[in-house]
Amino acid sequence: MRDGFQREIDYLRISLTDRCNFRCVYCMPPEGVEKRSHSEMLTLEEIEEIARAAVELGVRKLRITGGEPLVRRGAVELCRRLGRIPGVEDLSLTTNGALLAPLAAELRETGVRRVNVSLDTLDPEKFRAITRGGELADCLAGIRAALDCGMDPVKLNVVLIGGFNDGEIPALAALSASWGVEVRFIELMPIGHTVPFGPEAYLPVDEVLRRLEGWTAEGTEGVARMFRLPDGGRIGLISPLSCRFCADCNRLRLTADGCLKPCLHSREEISVRGLHGEALRSAILAAAAAKPADHGPPSEQCRSCSQRDMNRIGG
């Protein structure tokens, strides 16, 4: 499946739910999200049907995300079904890690071979503050369990926030060598309506390189610029808004309420709820065709144009 700019679209990110057991300050309002009725959300069967249709059209990679995907009942069973779809070469998960420890081995068995876990700080108090109540120990146990059951790679997603965790850059980067994980620093995005940070929080990820010594550049891998550290660790830098990777964008996003988003930062959405067969395939092709060349500079006081908060898109 190709878009209007001849980019191969082979990657579908599937949000299982808008809900989350955390309330990260850059992602959700403190009161959480409005509870929506089950009938507004895709069932697990519908998600599987849409994924199958996308795979028939050329999608090879599926990533399960949210909200927090592991709070959705049946998440592991869905992974099992997605892992069995002929043509799926890569099934992965993005999670905050809090519920991962007891599920990691079973998920690995369903075909989830790799996982990204969000981890913004190594200080339990700061962790509680940024997640509004999360326990660092649970997240660390989830990472440990993912490593122990052989998920590979395990990537840690760190949202870089000036004045919050920039002082921890060396400690977070050192986890790469000591735990055998890849540590990815991601620029804070001005998306949604819930970002209470001032301009100093929006650090360019190149700040990471200024705080580390002796690194060597290793080129790009997907959306990340990769660097090797003197201790053998590997870090990735991701600049979502500076448009470094739009030219290679290969993805569509499926929201939990059944919309395909051609671009993370655009308002455009194509509903696939209730569609089957040829109508479903046509809608998926239309979403690919609607992908813009790039998301351009963010507008409206420098904010993303997406009308959804990140928990409703899946990152």
Residues that bind ligand SAM (CB under 6 A): 20, 26-27, 65-66, 68, 94-96, 118, 157, 159, 186, 188-189, 191, 195, 310-311, 314-315
Give dist(CA 261, CA 271) in Å, integer: 9
- List 66, 190, 240, 258, residue binding ligand SF4 (CB under 6 A): 66
The count of C-alpha atoms lying within 13 angstroms of the C-alpha of 208, restricted to the half-sphere facing its C-beta, is 33
E strands of 140-250, at which residues?
154-160, 182-187, 216-221, 224-228, 234-238
Please report, as a single letter, which amino acid is at residue 42.
Answer: L
Cα dihedral value 163, 165, 166, 168, nearest 10: 140
> Rule CB under 6 A: is residue 20 a binding residue for ligand SF4?
yes
Residue 158 interface partner, choices ligand SF4, ligand SAM, none, CB cut-off 5-8 Å depending on type: none
Shortest separation between residue 285's beta carbon and ligand SAM, angstroms: 27
Residue 45 DSSP SS3: helix
Residue showing the smallest CB distance to ligand SAM in the complex: 315
CB-wise, 22 or 164, nearer to ligand SF4?
A: 22
CB-wise, 159 or 208, nearer to ligand SF4?
A: 159
Residue 65 interface partner, choices ligand SF4, ligand SAM, none, CB cut-off 5-8 Å depending on type: ligand SAM
Shortest separation between residue 21's beta carbon and ligand SAM, angstroms: 9
Residue 83 DSSP SS3: helix
Neighbours of 67 (CB within 10 A): 26
Task: Count the site residues for ligand SF4 by CB under 6 A.
Answer: 13
Helix (H) or strand (E) holding 208: helix 206-211
CB-wise, 52 or 265, nearer to ligand SAM?
A: 265
Give dist(CA 67, CA 256) in Å, integer: 9
Query: Within 84-166, where are the H helices?
Result: 104-110, 124-131, 136-148
CB-wise, 22 or 227, nearer to ligand SF4?
A: 22
- List 27, 75, 189, 203, residue binding ligand SF4 (CB under 6 A): 27
**Is the distance from CB of 269 to CB of 261 less than 8 angstroms?**
yes
- List 68, 182, 187, 269, residue binding ligand SF4 (CB under 6 A): 68
How does strand 224-228 pair with strand 234-238? antiparallel
> Rule CB under 6 A: is residue 143 a binding residue for ligand SF4?
no
* Candidate ranges 21-29, 106-114, 266-274, 286-294; the one touching ligand SF4 (CB under 6 A): 21-29
Footprint on residues 293-312 left by ligand SF4 (CB under 6 A): 310-311
Give dist(CA 22, CA 130) in Å, integer: 9
Shortest separation between residue 143's beta carbon and ligand SF4, angstroms: 14
* Residues constituting the chain: 315
Q: List the beta bridge partners of residue 183.
A: 156, 235
- List 12, 14, 17, 23, residue binding ligand SF4 (CB under 6 A): 23
Interaction site with ligand SF4 (CB under 6 A): 20, 22-24, 27-28, 66-68, 96, 118, 310-311
